């Protein structure tokens, strides 16, 4: 089955103010569900329109969506949020997810924009969901891509007891069994994430083979962990920040230990799209394996799945300060989730940590709070609404929306101090939005969004970060014409409203 599926994959080639909602500092009582098993899946660089369960709600019913029957099943049996925000790039969104805090607290705004001295050590100041759930009695494991600063997920602050992490040579060299890497490389410095991948599993380098496929190995590792946890009688927290479908990684495959090992060549856009679609279908296949595993283990009724993505699809969304950049997948299913199907309620990544903490009956450090709000009351039907507004960001741009209004690319540094304001009404996914600056009937709503944004204090040109070596380098590229034009606008294929 493994050989067939992987071969098929490549044959396809292929508010009036800014009061942030928080949960209580300490949650003393577990939820009525006694410490359920939790499976959190974070996909890499993919927008909701790529998945068949979202296609009916996207422009043109989105014609390039992958066939994802397993995710579709979870969306039908649970809830699929049409509008969920993260940050528009992987590092800030991953930090937001594991801490439940926005960038104005952690200082992580972009992969190359960590703006305070504590940013890389943020887990010393902001407890990880892995640590919180471990302290609540969970067996914890992570497999895939971390990309969250200097502290590794398996260190005390990370809280993950077991791990299979895609890693660089610098981390491999710290392992006792390291004898030199002869596996796959994406370029001269980055190990392969797909074929012949660079993985460290529970302290040891895995010397993979050319037909080993990274996402499948991480998936298998987590399923083994789940089985052992069930046999040990412990609830499990399984975190799968999948390395896919982040690009298909073509080009020269080089290795510092054995030189150039192959030239895959360049593909046409059509071939690249086919590969990307096929990768998403293969991820869905692996998700189906996980779903079957919890059935096999007899714990399906006490397991919750949360499937999301770290930012929008590369090229068409990632790093853009528009809504599409931070608009991500979010499907939650299992347990006592009474909401069904597509939901117009709003949520963002700061809601995930408080949701998991409430599910687990975990405790927060005294005085600590999240920026987000637990989804559990909404998921279980206790309430019919979740929150009034959500927040996204990337670099120096802010994106804020309510159910009916949106302000995006709010960016004083790049000449848009009040951003681009739209009336969305019931529309989602950009189509049908109306530019509404200067329209009297929408002015009150615009001011409410600007008031919310002001509470986050946008990063401006006078911030000390720009005087550092890293800041100067980032600023030079960030303010160049090409980068600015991409950052401030939608991709040409996604312009459904006036951007002038």
pLDDT at 20 over 70: no
pLDDT at 26 over 90: no
Number of neighbours of residue 179 by Cβ within 10 angstroms: 10
Average pLDDT in the 286-294 region?
A: 98
Average pLDDT in the 258-284 region?
A: 70
Interval 101-116: pLDDT, tens:
999 999 999 999 999 8
pLDDT at 249: 56
| Mean pLDDT, rounded, of the chain | 89
Say what angle helices 2-11 and 269-296 make with each other, to 10 degrees: 160
pLDDT at 204: 98
Interval 446-494: pLDDT, tens:
999 999 999 998 899 999 999 999 999 999 999 999 999 999 999 999 9
Across 3-7, 149-153, 202-206, which has the greatest mean pLDDT?
202-206
Average pLDDT in the 224-249 region?
A: 93
- Domains in the chain: ranges and CATH: 19-386 (3.40.720.10)
- Burial of 293 per CB tally in 10 Å (0-12, 13-18, 19+): buried
Average pLDDT in the 82-110 region?
A: 97
Question: Cα-Cα-Cα-Cα dihedral of 318, 104, 500, 82, to 10°?
Answer: 60
pLDDT band (50, 70, 90) for residue 257: very low
Where do we find the tokens 């507004």? 389
Average pLDDT in the 425-450 region?
A: 96
- Whole-prediction pTM value? 0.91
- Taking CA atoms, 251 is separated from 278, 368, 451, in Å, by 19, 46, 47
d(CA 20, CA 368): 14
d(CA 500, CA 491): 14
Q: Taking Cα atoms as reference points, which of 373, 413, 377, 378 lies closest to residue 393?
A: 413
Task: Give the rounded percent of residues in the chain with a pLDDT score beyond 70.
Answer: 89
pLDDT at 242 over 50: yes
Interval 152-208: pLDDT, tens:
999 999 999 999 999 999 999 999 999 999 999 998 889 999 999 999 999 999 999
């Amino acid at each position: 089955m493994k050989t067939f599926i992987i071969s098929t994959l490549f044959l396809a080639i292929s508010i009036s103010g800014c009061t942030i909602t928080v949960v209580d500092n300490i949650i003393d009582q577990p939820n009525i569900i006694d410490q359920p098993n939790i499976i959190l899946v974070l996909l890499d660089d993919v927008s909701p329109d790529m998945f068949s369960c979202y296609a009916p709600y996207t422009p043109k019913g989105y014609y390039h969506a992958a066939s994802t029957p397993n995710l579709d099943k979870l969306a039908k049996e649970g809830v699929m949020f049409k509008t969920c925000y993260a940050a528009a790039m992987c590092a800030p969104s991953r930090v937001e997810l594991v801490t439940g805090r926005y960038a104005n607290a952690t200082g992580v705004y972009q992969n190359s924009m960590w703006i305070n001295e504590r940013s890389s050590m943020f887990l010393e100041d902001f407890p990880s969901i892995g640590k919180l759930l471990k302290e609540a009695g969970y067996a914890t494991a992570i497999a895939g891509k971390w990309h969250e600063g200097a502290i590794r997920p398996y260190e005390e602050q990370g809280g993950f007891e077991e791990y299979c992490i895609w890693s660089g040579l610098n981390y491999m060299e710290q392992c006792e069994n390291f004898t030199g890497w002869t596996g796959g490389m994406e370029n001269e410095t980055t190990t392969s994430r797909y074929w012949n991948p660079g993985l460290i599993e529970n302290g040891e380098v895995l010397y993979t083979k050319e037909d080993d496929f990274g996402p499948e190995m991480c998936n298998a590792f987590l399923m083994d962990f789940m089985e052992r946890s069930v046999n040990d009688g412990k609830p499990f927290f399984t975190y799968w920040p999948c390395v896919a479908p982040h690009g298909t990684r073509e080009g020269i495959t080089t290795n510092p230990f054995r030189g150039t090992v192959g030239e895959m060549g360049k593909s046409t856009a059509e071939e690249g799209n086919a590969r990307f679609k096929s990768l998403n279908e293969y991820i869905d296949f692996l998700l189906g394996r996980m779903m079957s595993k919890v059935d096999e283990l007899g714990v399906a009724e006490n397991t919750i799945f949360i499937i999301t993505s770290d930012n929008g699809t590369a090229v068409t969304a990632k790093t853009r300060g528009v809504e599409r950049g931070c608009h991500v997948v979010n499907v939650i299913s299992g347990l006592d989730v009474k909401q069904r199907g597509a939901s117009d309620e709003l949520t963002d990544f700061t809601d995930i940590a408080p949701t998991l903490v409430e599910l687990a009956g975990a405790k927060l450090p005294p005085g600590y709070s999240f920026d987000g709000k637990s989804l559990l009351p909404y998921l279980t039907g206790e309430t019919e609404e979740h929150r009034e507004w959500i927040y996204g960001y990337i670099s120096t741009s802010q994106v804020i929306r309510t159910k009916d209004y949106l302000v995006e690319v709010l960016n004083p540094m790049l000449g848009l101090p009040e951003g681009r304001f739209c009336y969305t009404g019931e529309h989602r996914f950009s189509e049908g939005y109306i530019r509404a600056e200067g329209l009297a009937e929408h002015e009150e709503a615009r001011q409410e969004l600007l008031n919310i944004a002001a509470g986050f204090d946008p990063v401006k040109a006078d911030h000390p970060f720009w005087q550092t070596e890293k800041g100067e380098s980032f600023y030079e590229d960030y303010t160049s014409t090409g980068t600015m034009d991409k950052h401030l606008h939608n991709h040409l294929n996604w312009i459904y409203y006036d951007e002038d």
